[in-house]
Structure formats: C-alpha cells, structure tokens
C-alpha cells in the first residue's frame, strides 16, 4: 500500500499503452517547473527498460526527469524496473522478482518532502496487472490524486475512454479530465472531429486539451505546439482538485 501524498499532484493514466502518457505527463511537469514549482515526477514501475552500466534505466523516467528539471536520481523517480516490455506483474514474475511496494512508497514520500507538486505516470492502461493481485487502478486509489486520462483521437476511443473513466470513478478516484493526444493538425476526419464531444456528453467529463500530432521526436525538447496545447489548462487548479 502507498501513502497518500501531502502535496498537490496528478496521476496520469491512459486508455492503453502507447497513447502518449509520458509525453503528456512530461509536458504537465514542465508547465509546473516553468512556473517555479519544485516538481517531483514518478513512474512507480517501468518495463522495457534499457540496460546501461549503472543498471536498468527507464527512458520514460529520464524523459519525465528532464522536463520536470527534477533533482532526484532516476532510481528514486522509477524505483521498480524490468527489462522485458510486458505488464509489470508478468515482467516481475519472469524476472523472479516481486514488486517492492515499500521502495515505491519511500521514494514518493522522499520526493514529496522536497517538492511542491507531484506528477505520477502510470503504466499501460488502468487495469494493467502490476502484481498477482493488484492493478494500476490500485495505485491510483492509494495515491488519491486527481487523474488525467490520455486518449487517442480516432475510432474506438469513445469506448476505451469511457471505460477508463468509469473504472476510475467506480473506485472512487477523481477524474481531472481527458487529454486527447496525437490530434490531427489539419482538418480532422469525422471520427476525430466528433469523438471529443461524445466523450464529454456520455462520460460527463471534460476534454481538457488537444495535443497535436507532430513529426519527428519529442526528445530532448517538447515541440512548441505540444507546449502551447498544455498551456491552455490551469494544471495547478487540477492538481488541487478544483
């Protein structure tokens, strides 16, 4: 079990893996950092990590740390790391390891003591298993942070997004809103154009912003149009549950 942070923050989840949680979480962290907030970022566990001389490293955690201007070491930002790109429960089992919840809790609490705001990125979708009994949803429940749902713009996203929102609310987790990632920069097809309104109508949830699709890489710098999209939201208010 994880201790609820004593500072404002956001939990960033997604409708699936590969929807852009890390990009959105990093952009939100950068929003706070550029306003002078001491911003802690955390990816409690990561799979598909790369092996370097210092051991397994999460490239997602590196990206978060860079844009938050984080002062904490990567093994604090991401306490649990596995090599295989699998759900954490499966990656841990295949590695002959267990998730060390005390290590995750200690890392989060240590960062919170020296920070003004905490941005936590989940792994995969909200019901991805993280050990033999628990899912990402349990992490969101324990932390109790307002949750941002990152979603795709295209066909199928209504169902995926509404299911994610429903699962969070059923568990008592506050949903801060939805961020549509990879939104077409030119005239969107019918599905992309109508999906956000449908999500708001049937999900009774706000679509906070549209992060545009961009060419090239977001490493090491965030594209200006991504920064501009994130700028449209008062993330401080969202982190306080307002």
Q: Which residues have a Cβ under 8 Å from the Cβ of 224 and sit 6 or more positions away?
A: none
Q: What's the mean per-residue pLDDT of the chain? A: 95
| Burial letters 185-223, b for 16+ CB under 10 A, else e | eeebeeebeebbeebeeebebebbbbbbbeeeebeeebb
What is the residue extent of each domain of the chain? 9-239
The CA–CA distances, whole Å, from 127 to 1, 39, 88, 160, 187 equal: 17, 27, 12, 12, 33
In tens, the pLDDT along 48-69 reads: 999 998 889 999 999 999 999 9
> CA 89 to CA 209: how far, in whole Å?
32
Over residues 30-46, the pLDDT tens digits come to 999 999 999 999 999 99
The architecture that CATH gives domain 9-239 is 3-Layer(aba) Sandwich (3.40)
Residues with active-site annotation: 43
What pLDDT does 221 receive? 85
pLDDT at 180: 98
- Give the integer Cα–Cα distance in Å for 236 and 79: 26
* The pLDDT of residue 218: 63
What confidence score (pLDDT) does residue 43 get? 98
| pLDDT tier at 155, thresholds 50, 70, 90 | very high
228 vs 54: which has the higher pLDDT: 228
């Amino acid at each position: 079990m994880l201790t609820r942070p004593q500072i404002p923050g956001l939990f960033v989840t997604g409708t699936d893996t590969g929807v852009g949680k890390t990009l959105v979480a990093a952009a939100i962290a950068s929003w706070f950092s550029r306003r002078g907030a001491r911003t802690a970022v955390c990816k409690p566990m990561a799979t598909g990590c790369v092996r370097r001389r210092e051991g397994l490293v999460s490239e997602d955690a590196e990206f978060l740390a860079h844009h938050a201007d984080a002062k904490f070491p990567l093994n604090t930002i991401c306490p649990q790391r596995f090599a295989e790109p699998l759900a954490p429960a499966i990656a841990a089992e295949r590695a002959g390891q267990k998730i060390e919840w005390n290590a995750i809790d200690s890392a989060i609490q240590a960062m919170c003591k020296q920070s003004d705001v905490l941005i936590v990125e989940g792994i995969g979708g909200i019901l991805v298993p993280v050990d033999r009994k628990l899912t990402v949803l349990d992490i969101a429940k324990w932390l109790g942070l307002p949750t941002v749902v990152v979603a795709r713009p295209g066909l199928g996203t209504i169902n995926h997004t509404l299911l994610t929102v429903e699962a969070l609310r059923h568990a008592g987790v506050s949903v801060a809103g939805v961020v549509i990632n990879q939104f077409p920069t030119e005239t969107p097809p019918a599905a992309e154009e109508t999906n956000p309104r449908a999500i708001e109508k049937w999900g009774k949830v706000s679509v906070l912003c549209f992060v545009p699709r961009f060419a090239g890489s977001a490493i090491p710098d965030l594209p200006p149009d991504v920064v501009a999209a994130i700028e449209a939201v008062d993330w401080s208010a969202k982190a306080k549950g307002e």
